Amino acid sequence: MTTKPSLDAIKTLREKTSASLNDIREALASAGGDEAKALALLRQRGLAIAERRQGRATGQGRIEAYVHHDGRLGALVEVNCETDFVARTPEFAQFCRDVAMHVAAMGPRYLRLEDAPAVEGAGAEERKAHCLLEQPFVKDQGTTVQDLLKALIAKTGENVVIRRFVKFGVGESA
């Protein structure tokens, strides 16, 4: 006999993951009520959804700007998705703002590890440090930007890509 997950457990996971209530119920039931196992199951499901969506065209999206309070540092990012409906959601807009702030704060040079040139003497960790998707997110060091992107894909059900970004700093050379 399976036990029904408590409303508190469902609410807690909903706040942490923003996953659908049915997905949370199923994950908690499969994990026997263990929140950590349920979180792992939800992450796996989100990763599977993200993998399936990767090849889909992304012709809509947003360009987001971040300018630091002193006006001496800023960033622009373009994030694309499949439909304008998703591009207008608060979650998508917040993701774009967060990525723009992250770019301004961390100054990545490349989007993916594959984009970074192999430099003699530079290890994989050093190359990862300059790749946006590999960097720990500035607001939560336990999560990478790639993890945030996959969570957004799982939540929206659409392919989402960070297309390009640029950081500006007063007095910095290009």
Pairing of strands 73-81, 160-169: antiparallel
Q: Band the pLDDT of 96: cuts 50, 70, 90.
A: very high
Average pLDDT over residues 71-95: 94
Per the model's pLDDT, the better-predicted residue between 79 and 42 turns out to be: 79
* Residues in CB range of 161: below 8 A, 6 or more apart: 58, 79, 80, 81, 149
Q: Band the pLDDT of 55: cuts 50, 70, 90.
A: low
Q: Band the pLDDT of 102: cuts 50, 70, 90.
A: very high
Average pLDDT over residues 84-92: 93
Count of H-run helices and E-run strands, the chain = 7, 5
Average pLDDT over residues 142-162: 89
Pick the CATH number of 7-53 from 3.40.50.150, 1.10.8.10, 3.40.190.10, 2.102.10.10: 1.10.8.10
pLDDT for residue 1 = 43
**Which of the given ranges, 8-17, 34-43, 160-169, has the highest pLDDT on average?**
160-169
Residue 133 and residue 99: Cα distance in Å, rounded?
A: 10
pLDDT for residue 148 = 92
Average pLDDT over residues 96-116: 93
Torsional sign, CA 15, 16, 22, 26: negative
CATH number of 60-169: 3.30.479.20
Domain residue ranges of the chain, discontinuous segments joined by +:
7-53, 60-169
Average pLDDT over residues 148-160: 86
| pTM of the predicted model as reported, rounded to 2 decimal places | 0.72
Residue 133 and residue 73: Cα distance in Å, rounded?
A: 21
